Amino acid sequence: MAARRASSKLLTYLLWSPKGLTSVCECSDELLFFAYVHLKRVLFTVIPASPAHFSTQIVGESPVLVRDFIHAALYDSKHGYFSQRSGSVGVLDRSIKFNELQVNKLLNVSSHIGKCFFKTDRLSSRRKAYMKHLDKIYKQSDISWFTPVELFKPWYAHGIAEAILRTANLSVPLKIYEIGGGSGTCAKGVMDYIKLNAPTRVYDNMTYISVEISPSLAKKQLETVGEVGSHLAKFKVECRDAADASGWGAEQQPCWVIMLEVLDNLPHDLIYSEHQVSTWMEVWVEKQHGKHAVCQISELYKPLEDPLITSCMEVMGLPKDGITRGTFAVLSAKSLWAKLFPKPRRCWLPTGCLKLLKVLHSALPMMSLITADFSFLPDVKIPGERAPLVASKKDGNNSDYNNYLYAEGDADIFFPTDFGLLPIFKLCCADLSFDADRIPDSDLWFLTSVFNFTQLDTSSFMEEFGLPSKTRTKDGYNPMLDDFKNTKFYLSVPTHNTKVKSWTSREAHDRKIGE
């Protein structure tokens, strides 16, 4: 589940170019058109930072770590963003027929976005048809956001299924876990593809288990997958927290784990230092009672003690004292500079990701992993390295916060994923004595090659495993390849889980699905 949701997250996808974030004034005509149709519909409001009054229901009388605050804001059984609201995840009534999208007339656009005025009169019809259709969809689904697997169903899920079938060891029954399966669109798409393309025995003996923390989404997944009657005997939902080790048994057979836009919604911790060379401190969240019985939420700083925080810092190579390595002269210069020009530092740690991967590697030692998420988020208002976007949508208006403490259960909180850390986390989970500082880059590259890690941007992944022709508009535009420049896929396929002999081929696939 993910990632600004609704058009907030969609702009995150589409306003990011390979060369970096493009300002509105520098955008191409196509990007300006997209900005117009979506920002005209949804007025983005940045909520200024001030003491938070909203989140008191998810903070008790005792201080909590930032990761616990975020977990409650997203997943609390009564107030969490995902737990009670299946409407937080958009579901399309039917697949988009991309090959029918075409606009013949050019559109003149003249509007203001904030203080920036722009006018375009030569918009490319190649992109305009898709954008108009997308705008229509969002107007019809005011409270929802749509993930890539939903926008490009069934083709996005089919690409994932093809990646699994090309590498899976089919001498054992295929077992797939999906964490945070949203509306069940991915599960249904993967099972549809396997039923249609794999040998009969593979589909007949497969198991697909969805681990979903939200009761409302768990129910929706059963409804979606149940649209094909034969799937239900092979599919089940376990409504629980995947990061809770007590919910897992011991799985000694090869299996696959799918996580689509899950890492971005995992709780993070926050560490703080007063200036460039001061010691890092843990950040906690506490409730304060002000005048007239008004409760406020504020931060509290404590010395580093939490084991998960210190473990994550060690894996990431962050010194606890906040001082980077260097010669005495360099360190002295940095210390002097910090005293003359002190600058507070804030760093967000993916402790939720590290915890989840540790649990998965312990419970599923023979797993292969496929995950997709954001590698970068533009226009982040909240300070700190790896800081999240926090956004909510009410009455058609999308509000961005520059204070994460405003999250009250109706706001999405999502982080960029540092894909370079994932193989390091995997090695750490395989050997808890692992120290990132002891492995030079060349050796780390060798280890990632041996352990079969790979990273692909979304377009490369879909060109390799999917059918890009199915998401190409009649005008020749392909949003699945062109509109996800800040998203990546990460695959980890240990050698014990690779197939013995290839049976699937693009020819067989094309014959059954149709090019």
- The CATH number assigned to the domain holding 361 equals 3.40.50.150
Would residue 8 count as lying in a domain?
no
The pLDDT of residue 349: 98
More confident residue, 413 or 483: 413
Angle between helices 351-363 and 421-430 (to 10 degrees): 40
User: 347 falls in which pLDDT band (50, 70, 90)?
Assistant: very high
Mean pLDDT along residues 99-125: 46
Residue 175 lies in a domain: yes
What's the CA gap between 236 and 214, in Å, rounded? 14
pLDDT band of residue 95 (cuts 50, 70, 90) is: very high
pLDDT of 254 strictly over 70: yes
75 and 83 in contact (C-beta within 8 Å)?
A: yes
Task: Establish if 482 belongs to a structural domain.
Answer: no
Strands 175-179 and 116-120: unpaired
Q: Is residue 404 in some structural domain? A: no
Query: How many Å is the Cα radius of gyration of the chain?
Result: 24
Mean of pLDDT values over 362-383: 92
What percentage of the chain has pLDDT greater than the value 70? 67
Q: Which residue has the higher pLDDT, 66 or 53?
A: 66
Among 70-84, 211-225, 374-388, 451-465, the range scoring the smallest mean pLDDT is: 70-84
Does 442 score more than 70 pLDDT? no
Decide if 117 is inside a domain: no
Residue 209 lies in a domain: yes
Helices (H), 297-363: 307-316, 328-340, 351-363
Question: For the chain, how many structural domains are there in total?
Answer: 1
Does some domain include residue 448?
Answer: yes
- Please give the Cα distance from 479 to 352 (Å, whole number): 31
* Residue-averaged pLDDT of the chain: 77
d(CA 299, CA 187): 40
What's the Cα-to-Cα distance from 262 to each of 166, 206, 211, 257, 346, rounded to whole Å?
Answer: 24, 23, 12, 12, 23
pLDDT at 60: 67
The region of weakest confidence among 7-21, 140-154, 207-221, 332-346 is 7-21
Q: Average pLDDT, stretch 395-411?
A: 80
- The kind and range of the H/E element at 179 are strand 175-179
Question: Does residue 58 lie in a domain region?
Answer: no
Sequence-ordered alpha helix ranges (H) in 180-327: 185-197, 200-205, 215-225, 307-316
Task: Please give the Cα distance from 77 to 83 (Å, whole number).
Answer: 6
pLDDT of 484 reads 84
In this prediction, residues 284-297 reach a mean pLDDT of: 74
Helix (H, G, I), strand (E, B) or coil at 296: strand
Q: Is 136 exposed, middle or buried (0-12, 13-18, 19+ CB in 10 A)?
A: exposed
The predicted structure's pLDDT at residue 32: 41
pLDDT score at 494: 78
Residue pair 318/347 in contact (Cβ under 8 Å)? The answer is yes
What residues does 404 pair with on adjacent strands?
none
Helix ranges, 83-174 (H): 125-140, 148-151, 155-167
What is the arrangement of strands in the sheet containing 487-492, beginning at the earlier edge strand? 235-239, 207-212, 175-179, 255-260, 367-374, 487-492, 453-457
Amino acid 156: pLDDT: 98
> What is the residue range of 197's domain?
148-266+351-375+410-461+487-513
Angle at alpha carbon of residue 311, lines to 306 and 315, rounded to 5°: 155
| Single pTM value for the model | 0.79
Task: List the one residue out of 413, 378, 417 whose CA is nearest residue 392.
Answer: 413
Angstrom distance (rounded) from CA 162 to CA 492: 15
- Lowest model confidence (mean pLDDT) among 54-58, 89-93, 119-123, 367-371: 119-123
